[in-house]
Amino acid sequence: MSRLVILSNRVADLRKTSQSGGLAVGLADALRQRGGVWFGWDGETLQTQPREATVEQVGNVRMISAAMTVEDYMNYYVGYANSVLWPLFHYRLDLVDFHAPYFDAYQRVNANFAGLVAPYLQDDDLIWVHDYHFIPMANCLRRLGCRQRMGFFLHIPFPPPDLLAASPNHRYLVEALLDYDVLGFQTTADTINFRHYLEEWGVGEVLDERTIRYKGRTIAIDRYPIGIDVETFRDMARNAPDDVRIDSARREKLGRKQIIGVDRLDYSKGLPDRFQAFGKLLAQHPELEKQVTFLQVAPPTREDVNAYSDIRDELEGLTGSINGRFSDFNWTPLRYIHRPVPRETLAALFRASHVGLVTPLRDGMNLVAKEFVAAQDDEDPGVLVLSQFAGAAEDMTEALIVNPYDTDTMAEAIHQALMMPLDERKARHKALLDHILHQDTQRWLATFLNDLETAGGHTNPPPDS
Distance CA 434, CA 437 (A): 5
Nearer to ligand ADP, 368 or 411 (CB): 368
> How far apart are the C-alpha atoms of 94 and 76, rounded to whole Å?
20
Residue 114 vs 154, nearer CB to ligand ADP: 154
| 380 contact partners, CB below 8 Å, separation of at least 6 | 422, 425
Q: Which of 141, 90, 30 is nearest to 305 (CA)?
A: 90
Catalytic residue among 155, 170, 429, 435: 155
User: Is 363 among the residues known to form the active site?
Assistant: yes
Nearer to ligand ADP, 20 or 447 (CB): 20
> In this complex, which beta carbon is closest to ligand ADP, that of residue 314 or of residue 344?
344
Min CB(370)–ligand ADP separation in Å: 8
130 is catalytic: no
Is residue 411 within 8 A of residue 278, CB to CB? The reply is yes
**Coil, strand or helix: which one is 179?**
coil
Residue 304 Cβ vs ligand ADP, minimum distance, rounded to whole Å: 17
User: CB nearest ligand ADP: which residue?
Assistant: 367
CB of 37 to ligand ADP, least distance (A): 24
> Contact 365/394 with Cβ under 8 angstroms?
no
**Can you spell out the DSSP letters for 399-438?**
SEEE-TT-HHHHHHHHHHHHH--HHHHHHHHHHHHHHHHH
Residues 173-201 as b/e (b if ≥16 CB within 10 A, e otherwise) read bbbbbbbbbbbbbbbebbbebbbbbbeee
Question: Out of 363, 395, 440, 451, which one is annotated catalytic?
Answer: 363
Tell me the β-bridge partners of 37.
5, 62
Closest distance to ligand ADP from the beta carbon of 226 (Å):
8
Q: Mind giving me the DSSP string for 343-379?
A: HHHHHHHHHT-SEEEE--SSBSS-HHHHHHHHHS-TT
Nearer residue to ligand ADP within complex by CB, 178 or 315: 315
Q: Which is nearer to ligand ADP, 181 or 263 (CB)?
A: 263
User: Rule CB under 6 A: which residues touch ligand ADP?
Assistant: 21, 262-264, 297, 299, 340-341, 343, 346, 365-368, 371
Distance between first and last Cα of the chain = 29
Largest CA distance in the chain: 72
Q: Which residues are catalytic?
A: 155, 363
